[in-house]
Each structure stands twice: as C-alpha cells, then as structure tokens.
Amino acid sequence: MNHVTSILELTDDISKKNYLEKCGRGELFNTLRKTATQISLKNQLLYTDPATGRTLTFFEELNRSFPIICLIFFERRVRSKSDGIVVRYKEFRRCKEHCPEMFKQFITPSMYAKMFKDCYGFISPTKFINTCLKILYSYQIRSELGFINPLEEVITYYDFLYWVKGSVREYSETKLGLVGQLSAGHPSFENFYSIYVIERVLFFSGSRNSIVKIQDLISSDQFAKFLELRLSDSPELENPFNPQPIFQIFEWFEYRTQHAEEAKSPSPLARDDEAHEAAYHNPEDKFFLPETLQQLLIDFEYIIPSFVISRIFEVHSENCKFITDSNGQRRTVIGIQTVFRVLFSLELRESPHSIDWFWGILDLNETGYIDQSVICCFWKSMVACIEQIYSIEALPPLEYICDEIFDMICPGDSSGRIYKKTFKASPMAPTVISYLCDPKAFIAIEMREEIIAQNASKSLDPNQYNMDLGKLAYSDIGSDSDTTDYSRDSNDIQALP
C-alpha cells in the first residue's frame, strides 16, 4: 500500500464540517468507505467469495461502474501508454458529468494532482479507483481514531490503547472476539493483548516514544495486519495478532513473573484486596530479572547467551527499575515493553527495525562501530553457551569468525571496523546477528552450509566422474603425442642440409 497524503486533499479546501455534510451522506458512500479498508489491505480491486462464487454487493456495484469509468477515460484520453492513460485536467473535470455516483466526489483538482503525483502522470481507470480507495482508507482510519483534521498528526499512547480496546469489543463477531472469550476467565488478558498490539505496531513503525504519528499508522504493515482480523475472512493463523498465541505469552507472563508491588511489600495480603487485584491485572507492573528473561526465551525456543542478556539490561537501562529481592540485594529489572522488543527482534530479525535494535546490543563501546575486540566478547559468550548446551567443542576459532563477518558486511575493507550505516545496509546483517547472539541459529547455518557442501560433492554422478577422468587422461595423451610429433619434425628440419 502506497503512502497516503492528507485526506482533506480531495475536498478542495472545504472545511471538515462541510466535507462531512457534503460527502458523508448516502448509503453508497458509507459502504464504499467501510469497504475501502478491506480492499486496500487485500490490495485487490475485485473480489469473489471462493466458497460460494458470489460477488459481494459492493463489488457488484464496482463491477458495474468500472466499465463506465474505463470508457469515459478512454474517450477523453490524450494518448495511451503501456501503464496507463494520459488525460488532461479539462477532460478529467468533464468526466464528472458521466461518472457513476459513487466516484463523482473524487473528480476534483486535488485528486487530479494527487494522481499525477502517485501514478507518475498516467491516469488509468484502475489507478483512479485504487487512489480513491486509499484515500478512503486513510479517511476510515482517521475517523476511527478521531483525527480527521490533517493538522492533528499524533495520537498519545493511551488514546491508542483506548482505541485498540474499543476495536476489540466492537468487532467481537470476528477473529477479535476470541480476545473477549479468553478474557472471561482472565480479566487482564484484554489489557495485555492491547499493549502487545501497540508495542508491536510502534516497534515496526520506528516509533521510540509514547507519541504515535497518524501517518505512521496508516502506512504501517503491522497495523494493517491487525485491521485484517476485523474481517470475517481473514487468515487467522498467518496473522501475528492472532489472539491464541498471544494468550500463550500472556499465560507465561501471568504465572512465571512477579509483580512489582509484591516485591516491594513483604505482605501483599495485608493490602486492600480490590487495590491489589487492580494492580495485579496491570501488565505494565510486571518485571523481569535477567534469569527470568533468559528462561522466557528458552521456553519460547530462543537460546541467548548470558552476555547478550546482560547487554539488553545495559542498553535499556533507562527503562529499568530496581527492586530488592528476598535476600535483601538490589536487582535491576526490565518491564514488559522491553521484553516485547526482544521477542519482536528475534522473531523478525531481517526487518530494518530489528537490525537497528540489535545494533544497539552489538555496539558494546557505543563508538558507532564494532571491531575484532567487540566480536571477541560476543563470540566467547557464544562458545561457552554452545559448549554448555549442545556439547559441541570443535567450534571455529575467533579469527575465522572475524574474517567471515567482515567478508559478509564489508568485503575488501581493511579498516577492521564495521560502522552502523554499513551494517544496517548489508543484507547479511541478520546472519551476523545469528553468529554473535543466537547459538541455535548459528548451528543451523553451519549445518546447512555443511549439508550443501556434502550435496555438492555427491551431486556429480560416479559414471560421469569416471568419464570425465577418462577424457582428461585422453586429452593428456593427445597433448603428449602432439608435442612429440612437433619435436620430431623439428629434428628432421634441423637434419636437413
């Protein structure tokens, strides 16, 4: 989905109130607006129910309108191109007289300018309708969030949280209804699920604080995947916001972690029951010790060296809190937001945001680059972890790992340093992350390379191999005879008077 500019461009400077009065009427427009989200997310123009083979009502209207728009644009074209039709604005404006009712409000100067910007000067019927739908998708999201005015570009964290909770309750008949069902026996799950949704959207949109840009939401792939769950025919298992696997994470958090208030108070039973219950149901008050985080990762099949765990606590020290454990020692803990970022980064380490997060872990000295000394620290921890868990002793030496990493990220560079910009731009960055932070992934890579090498040596047919050797021997014999013949001729020539 392309980035969408301000929704009010299509109103030609009409105020928000006048726009709603002018374009907010009519069942057809409302149907178009509600369906724009579905079409934009699926990135398709026409849709037929695969189960029944019946086209939905909205699409039947779109099917009827599409040939008319094609004919109108074709008759008023200046010239045709392979990727679209060029139409002058004067002719584009005249299209409004014959355009179907559902698209008349889009025949405006700002719409024409936008299409020339987004469609590189070519206006085809398909591009016209897709542009309409993307604008309506933007309008739909802004309407739901309560920010139609393009000057209001941000939404606070807790306003976003309130919207997610409202969306979960409003669309209870879709896949999101499972959240309500699971919350019946676990009242805190709805809040946990909403925080998970927000943290995932914020992480993969690059937001670093509690202020969320509306435009980032509109153009966010993760946010679009959450909206897909509100559709009755969405593929639930392929969606990262599927409530069922998130509930498994919730159960781990609920029964394996402690509550901050419980750590501070030696006798939680002495407190007011209602206040304790309200505090206990707040996931933001959950905390993780280093050993707790490591156990969480192990239970979710991630094996991370202790040195990387300690780096997570160092890098996110601004989000850390301090508690006093049962032995009276002061310990550092991290909150649920940091734990979510760890899980997101490990899950999609190929994404730019995950690579950026891991760079913060790898930049040990905060110099903006990593060198052999930094690689040495991480590799020693990797070796200790692999030897302890997998009982593998014949591991590559440090020099080999350093050469591999430098060849992957910056081949031919003799400076001995890998800078952040080079690291983030390299397609091999996820592999380097696996080499230094994930023993399980490292072993999988090494085994795959070994299997590939073995298969390459076995792929040659033995008979073909013997035949090739025979050809090689024959070639050598022929080469020798030729040399002898030339030598004999040379001697004969020299013997002539």
Question: 159-163, 284-288, 303-307, 463-467: which has the minimum mean pLDDT?
Answer: 463-467
The first and second tokens of residue 363, run together, are 């930049």
Count: domains in the chain: 4
Task: Of 15-19, 290-294, 477-481, give the range with the top mean pLDDT.
Answer: 290-294
pLDDT tens for 411-433 read 877 788 999 999 999 999 999 99
Query: 136 and 19, same structural domain?
Result: yes
pLDDT band at 230 (very low <50, low <70, confident <90, very high): confident
Beta bridge partners of 418: 370
End-to-end Cα separation, the chain, in angstroms: 90
Query: 343 and 277, same structural domain?
Result: yes
| Host H or E run for residue 81 | strand 79-81
For residue 310, the model assigns a pLDDT of: 92
For residue 342, the model assigns a pLDDT of: 93
Query: 111 and 30, same structural domain?
Result: yes
Amino acid making up residue 165 = K
The answer as to whether 283 is a domain residue is yes
CA separation for the pair 309, 315 (Å, rounded): 10
Query: 101 and 168, same structural domain?
Result: no
Query: 141 and 14, same structural domain?
Result: yes
In Å, how far are 254, 278, 383 from 333, measured between CA atoms? 16, 21, 26
Amino acid making up residue 464 = Q
Amino acid making up residue 289 = L
Query: In the chain, what percentage of residues exceed pLDDT 90?
Result: 19
Residue 115 has pLDDT above 70, yes or no: yes
For residue 233, the model assigns a pLDDT of: 61
Look at residues 110, 145, 180 and tell me which one is the last residue of a structural domain: 145
Query: 162 and 137, same structural domain?
Result: no
The first and second tokens of residue 487, run together, are 């030598």
The answer as to whether 101 is a domain residue is yes
* Of 393 and 410, more confident: 410
CA separation for the pair 155, 381 (Å, rounded): 42
Look at residues 319, 347, 375 and tell me which one is the last residue of a structural domain: 347
Amino acid making up residue 359 = W
* Of 186 and 119, more confident: 186
Long-range contacts of 330-333 (CB under 8 A, 24+ apart): 331/289, 332/289, 332/290, 333/260, 333/287, 333/288, 333/289
pLDDT band at 475 (very low <50, low <70, confident <90, very high): very low
Considering the entire predicted model, what is its pTM? 0.70
The answer as to whether 402 is a domain residue is no
Query: 134 and 14, same structural domain?
Result: yes
Query: 89 and 31, same structural domain?
Result: yes
CA separation for the pair 403, 28 (Å, rounded): 64
| Host H or E run for residue 437 | helix 429-437
Amino acid making up residue 141 = I
DSSP H helical ranges for 175-231: 177-185, 189-205, 214-218, 221-228
Residue 206 has pLDDT above 60, yes or no: yes
Residues 392 and 386 sit within 8 Å (Cβ to Cβ)? yes
Query: 132 and 94, same structural domain?
Result: yes
The answer as to whether 133 is a domain residue is yes
The answer as to whether 94 is a domain residue is yes
* pLDDT, mean over the chain: 72
For residue 487, the model assigns a pLDDT of: 40
Residue 276 has pLDDT above 60, yes or no: no
The answer as to whether 369 is a domain residue is no
The answer as to whether 100 is a domain residue is yes
* Residue 283: alpha-carbon gap to chain centroid: 24
For residue 14, the model assigns a pLDDT of: 36
Residues 340 and 252 sit within 8 Å (Cβ to Cβ)? no
* Of 205 and 189, more confident: 189
pLDDT band at 82 (very low <50, low <70, confident <90, very high): low
For residue 262, the model assigns a pLDDT of: 45
- Name the DSSP letter for residue 333: E
Q: Is 322 helix (H, G, I), strand (E, B) or coil?
A: strand
For residue 408, the model assigns a pLDDT of: 92
The answer as to whether 367 is a domain residue is no
The first and second tokens of residue 11, run together, are 């109103």
For residue 59, the model assigns a pLDDT of: 57
Q: Compute, in degrees rounded to 10, the torsion defined by CA atoms 207, 208, 209, 212.
A: 0
Residues 205 and 216 sit within 8 Å (Cβ to Cβ)? yes
- Name the DSSP letter for residue 55: B
Which range marks the domain in which residue 66 is found? 7-145
* Of 390 and 14, more confident: 390
Query: 283 and 244, same structural domain?
Result: no
Query: 52 and 87, same structural domain?
Result: yes
For residue 421, the model assigns a pLDDT of: 92
Closest C-alpha to 283, from 335, 245, 228: 335
Query: 135 and 73, same structural domain?
Result: yes
* Of 289 and 359, more confident: 359
Question: 63-67, 118-122, 354-358: which has the minimum mean pLDDT?
Answer: 118-122
Residue 225 has pLDDT above 70, yes or no: yes
pLDDT band at 100 (very low <50, low <70, confident <90, very high): confident
CA separation for the pair 296, 362 (Å, rounded): 21
pLDDT band at 271 (very low <50, low <70, confident <90, very high): very low
Q: Is 228 helix (H, G, I), strand (E, B) or coil?
A: helix
In Å, how far are 136, 287, 323 from 269, measured between CA atoms? 53, 20, 19
For residue 455, the model assigns a pLDDT of: 57
Look at residues 91, 125, 145 and tell me which one is the last residue of a structural domain: 145
